[in-house]
Amino acid sequence: MFFMPESPVYLVAKGEDDRALTSLRWLRGQGYDSEGELKALKEDQRKQAEHGTVTLGELFTEKRYLMPLLVVIGLMFFQQFSGVNSVIFYTSRIFKQAGSDIDPGNQKFKNANWYRMSIAFPFSWQA
């Protein structure tokens, strides 16, 4: 968006600390300790540079990365195949058939449908 400043994190990563401070002041307002946050961002950037990056091979071969990866993949698998998306998709119909007098146009139902769409849409191309 043309009216928004660059991300302070991006600017710190590029070594443009003055622009990062200006961006922080614009985003947070003048009454905020932007210089303190800039120091924290620079420290985070330094720590990230020290730690380095993880290659795809390391992700699948080193135990410290493999176990968390398997947990996350397992959680995603069980979420998809537990049927929670079906329940969310048919929430309005389930409540109607149960005799509930809750309005299906209720904001909670709309939010559930947005959630359902956000889950289902990325997988719709596979059908």
Q: For residue range 45-98, list pLDDT tens digits in order.
A: 998 888 878 888 888 888 888 888 888 888 888 888 887 777 777 877 887 888
Q: What's the angle, vertex CA 110, arms to CA 109 and CA 111, rounded to 5?
A: 90
**Within 13 Å of residue 78, how many CA atoms lie on the same side as its CB?**
5
* Neighbouring C-beta atoms of residue 12, cutoff 10 Å: 23
* Residue spans per domain, the chain: 8-51, 53-82, 83-127
What pTM value is reported for the model?
Answer: 0.47
Q: Which pLDDT band, with edges at 50, 70 and 90, does 104 fall under?
A: low
Backbone dihedral angles phi then psi of residue 4, each to the nearest 5 degrees: -95, 145
Could you identify the residue written with the tokens 């443009």?
16
| 81 Cα distance to chain centroid | 22
**Secondary structure percentages of the chain, helix, strand, coil, to 5:** 75, 0, 25
Render pLDDT for 30-46 as a digit per residue (tens, 0 to 9).
888 899 999 999 999 99
